Structure 1
């Protein structure tokens, strides 16, 4: 049995005013080629197929086109909902997509058995069992209790998620016994695990959700396919518990990562091996740093990666000259005539105290919403308890704002 593990596509993402549509189209075409070349039996997308709960129409079209093209390969597709995905939007077409060999688990199902799937090999015979676990929202597995501290909520949620995994795994074991075959059991998840290394494009899963899930809480599955963290990695150094990462760089701090999908081979004895398949870079991106004296050489070097049709997207961190008010025009002059496009200019700020009213004209484009809130808190004389309380309220507001309609 060969499974291709991928996640965090974020179809429909706009990155600093730039669409990622062409990159996603190129990735989908490349992925179909890998399925054919490696004779993959099933593709698992472990959450965040879309960037928002209400993706643009072209992103939905990309999703549907991929499903149709994958069907022609004879490979199954399983789509798990992530924290960016709308349960209602993903679920609305799952009955139709089932006719095209695609099974969708948008959220925790009312009946646990709906999350247990039998994956078939090319010969049409059962080859593995899948515990399909999407992003778990607290309301899916917990009832709110008055008076609980944040720590108590974390413990309760961790225990509830662990129980969900164990109950579904027990169901898989019973199904394996019923089928009478020594089938490997695969589990999925869309969450943060203890020790996972994230990047700036991984938005926090909001207050009330799990901060980090211990690896010891996973059931003894042959392989655990995880999503949510964009950096590919083994969890706790374990071969069978992995994040495949996002297929394209979703932030500048991911630009130097080698993106990949994972080819997972299983047989009756369990996991045979995991092979990373490097994803080509469809859009060069670089984060540069230096003084105005150093930047010309650095920009020239990076420009060699671009072309007139596909210029390199740049983030420039200016050192030592950050006090200048005309940085944008100076850097534009340095880039004139080169196949590069500057998407963001940042200032080092030296050792100056962070302030919302910076004398060096810091713009909101240089700050995230979290940065603005953190700097506003710094202007107040607050004790640790008040800071924690306000941070919790702030994340609660964000959770409400990001909650898709119909969820």
Structure 2
């Protein structure tokens, strides 16, 4: 779509998760292909600013290859002209790590906020500059528990949820008030969970799942809210607030998702947006079979590959523990034009019992889903009283929140 003559064009993306692995396999090739594609779209679509709504990296201590890849993108983006880079921190990012190179990044036309600024006026970024602003951007990175409330001993789950929601809402209201006197359109950023949205297996629960908010927390002053955290492209309010989603499928549960970036055309009379589809650089496939049909399904399975070799997760129902299932599946797939990355055994419908971790799940699942693992532990320990379960889940959620604060470099 051609760029309107009176618009300032912003590209909204999020959740790159540089440094991410899948079952021990690097995603570097996919990230390289995506970033090269993104740079080409910046030139082709005449983008004025690239906005990354959190989770640039997959962890607070990313590998050096991931850090290099990020800085290389920043450098190449600058070479393309005057395109700005706007970045907020996500729950996987370290605020300290993101902000350490800020003096250098500012010289390259980048604004990076790893943590929320105390003064609401300092959260407002004016683009292309403060002399003749065409759009105001409210910079609201991932909000940790300590950023938005003071906990009290003996709080109930409902009280915690309420105080978190009120704290998040207040941050956005402060940003809207800081816009007083500005006539240009405004958009907000955020890295959080809006209720009613579809999640995937690769998203880490935020503050034990207690920090979900309604889309109504975003003041009407913002014509668009650029969101990160959820990896599927979606909108909680039919368009004004949007998740761009991750650029590559980060887990097999996202295998069928259509990935995209959003293009915002900011004109004096408002903001229009549309999607641009991202090519699928590698196909991820979930193959669900019964144990009895396993051999036939593997032999007949064929997948048209993309630029890179297709990765497959095989989910087998009805196999017995000790069947050496993983070895059997990999033997059947030898010589095929795809690679078996994961084999998961699931219980048959009439099978009882269960473990905290199912066969085929590993440390990556624990890191991304501590709440689900804890829920299974409660089942295993036969904690059936709902009030007690809720109390333990809240305590566990608070521990998760403290860990995420430490990972994010909160002071």
TM-score w.r.t. length of structure 2: 0.89
The residue aligned with 1:179 is none
Q: 1:159 to 1:49 in 2, by over 3 A?
A: same
> 1:302 and 1:265 mapped to 2: Cα distance?
44
Q: What are the ranges of 5 or more consecutive residues in structure 1 without an aligned counterpart? A: 177-181
Aligned twin of 2:327: 329
1:90-169 to 2 correspondences below 5 Å: 90-120=98-128, 125-169=132-176
List alignment gaps of at least 5 residues for structure 2. Answer: 1-7
Deviations along 1:241-276, one digit per CA (max 9) or x if unpaired, are 1111000101101011011101111211112x3221
- Cα 1:66–1:344 change in 2 (3 A) is same
Contact 1:186-1:225 at 8 Å conserved across structures: yes
The equivalent of 1:397 in structure 2 is 399
Tell me which of 16, 24, 35 is aligned to 2:42. 35
Where does residue 5 of structure 2 map in the other structure? none
Correspondences of 1:2-41 after superposition (within 5 Å):
2-41=9-48
Compute the RMSD of aligned alpha carbons.
2.4
Alignment of 1:2-401 (within 5 A): 2-73=9-80, 74-120=82-128, 125-174=132-181, 176=182, 182-207=183-208, 210-220=210-220, 221-236=222-237, 238-271=238-271, 273-292=272-291, 294-295=293-294, 298-299=297-298, 303-306=302-305, 310-322=308-320, 325-351=323-349, 352-356=351-355, 362=359, 365=362, 368-369=365-366, 370=370, 371-382=372-383, 383-401=385-403
Question: C-alpha displacement at 1:223, in angstroms?
Answer: 0.8
The 1:219–1:405 alpha-carbon spacing in structure 2 relative to 1, beyond 3 Å, is: closer
TM-score by length of 1: 0.90
Shift of 1:94: 1.2
Structure 1 residues 291-317: Cα deviation after superposition (integer angstroms, max 9, x where no partner):
35544565466533238x832111101
> How far apart, CA to CA, are the structure 1 residues paired with 2:15 and 2:396?
25
C-alpha displacement of 1:367: 9.2
Q: Distance in 2 between matches of 1:148 and 1:291?
A: 46
Secondary structure at the counterpart of residue 314 of structure 1: strand
The number of residue pairs the alignment matches comes to 393
By relative contact order (CA 8 Å, sep 6+), the higher-ranking structure is 2
SS where residue 230 of structure 1 aligns?
coil
